[in-house]
Amino acid sequence: MTRIMGTVAERLARNSYQTDEEFGHIEINQRIVRVTGTGRLLVAVCPAHVYAEEPDGTISAEYAACLECGTCLAVMPAGSLSWHYPRGGFGVEFREG
Ligand code: SF4
């Protein structure tokens, strides 16, 4: 049995990310998020802190840090997010050890 060592932050720091500068795999429908009042939920659930509430109340997404866990897609109302896996060769690469 393999024992996982280190804190969650230390383990996440081992990951490698290949950022696709031409295709952001997350798009937010600001209108639906505003109407449903789910912006802060979106900010709260993401383990990678991809989402942030801006001073004007909109939600921004720093998609390069996405862990591709799908939590945001699972909790948000239909139509509020357009989320796709990154194109081949891009996204997160999880590393152990
Ligand atoms: S898939 Fe996971 S890591 Fe990526 S933005 Fe959604 S909640 Fe955050």
Q: What is the rounded distance in angstroms from the CA atom of residue 78 to the CA atom of residue 35?
A: 12
The residue whose C-alpha atom lies closest to atom 8 belonging to ligand 1 is 46
Q: Does residue 16 form part of some domain? A: no
Is residue 36 in some structural domain? Answer: yes
Residue 3 lies in a domain: no
| Residue range of the domain that includes 63 | 24-85
If you average pLDDT over residues 14-30, what whole number do you get?
95
Whats the size of the chain, residue-wise? 97
CATH at residue 28: 3.30.70.20
Cα-to-centroid distance, 4 and ligand 1 (Å)? 22
End-to-end alpha carbon distance in the chain: 14
Indicate whether 35 belongs to any domain: yes
Each residue's pLDDT tens digit, 27-70: 999 999 999 999 999 999 999 999 999 999 999 999 999 999 99
As for ligand 1, residues whose beta carbon falls within 6 Å of it are 45-48, 50, 66-72
Specify if 69 maps to a domain.
Answer: yes
The per-residue pLDDT for 2 is: 59
CA 37 to ligand 1 centroid distance, Å: 19
Tell me if the pTM is above 0.75: yes
